[in-house]
Amino acid sequence: MKKITCIALLALLFTNCKKNNSDEELKPVQKTATTNAVVKKEKVEEEDCKDIEVEMGSGRECILKNTDLDKVYQNIIKNKEVDESEYFLKTIPNEKKSVEINKNGLISIDYEITKDKVAIDMNYEGGVTEITLEKIKNTVKRSIYHYAD
């Protein structure tokens, strides 16, 4: 009689553990499905990017298709693609301009404007961030380089 009772208790214990394990295995699958749906919605603009190694710094170059300089500039501000982009001018200036900032280690922002190209230098106490936007037909090449002093 004791053997039958022990076997019955072990069987109940085993099935209860098996049920708990299968419930835990289902939870990550549900979370993964939700995460994938969010990632697909975020991808709005078509871009081709690559990281660039430079001496005393790092950089990233992207080719953005079917856009213009103004949209890319506004996205840099809106998406905070560089630190302190909130200090950028609201629109791209028509001519060369320098803006004194002196906040958060950012000394100034210099704009160099030429035909189909905008170069922005963010001068920090410890280095420089260079942003270049270059219009090539219906695409824009966006380059962002960070240099230490």
pLDDT at 2: 55
pLDDT at 22: 47
pLDDT at 4: 62
Is the pLDDT reported for residue 62 higher than 60? Answer: yes
Which carries the bigger pLDDT value, residue 21 or residue 78?
78
Contacts of 126 (CB under 8 A, 6+ apart): 105, 148, 149
In this prediction, what percent of the chain has a pLDDT beyond 70?
Answer: 70
pLDDT at 12: 56
Closest of 72, 86, 69, 91 to residue 122, by C-alpha: 86
Closest of 105, 112, 111, 119 to residue 149, by C-alpha: 105
Q: Where are the domains of the chain?
A: 1-43, 47-148
127-136 vs 106-114, strand pairing mode? unpaired
| Segment 85-97, tens digit of pLDDT | 999 999 999 999 9
Q: Which of 31-40, 96-105, 109-118 has the lowest mean pLDDT?
A: 31-40
CA distance 138 to 103: 36
Is the pLDDT reported for residue 32 higher than 50? Answer: no
Is the pLDDT reported for residue 7 higher than 90? Answer: no
Q: Are 91 and 110 in contact (CB under 8 A)?
A: no
**Quick one: DSSP state of residue 3?**
H
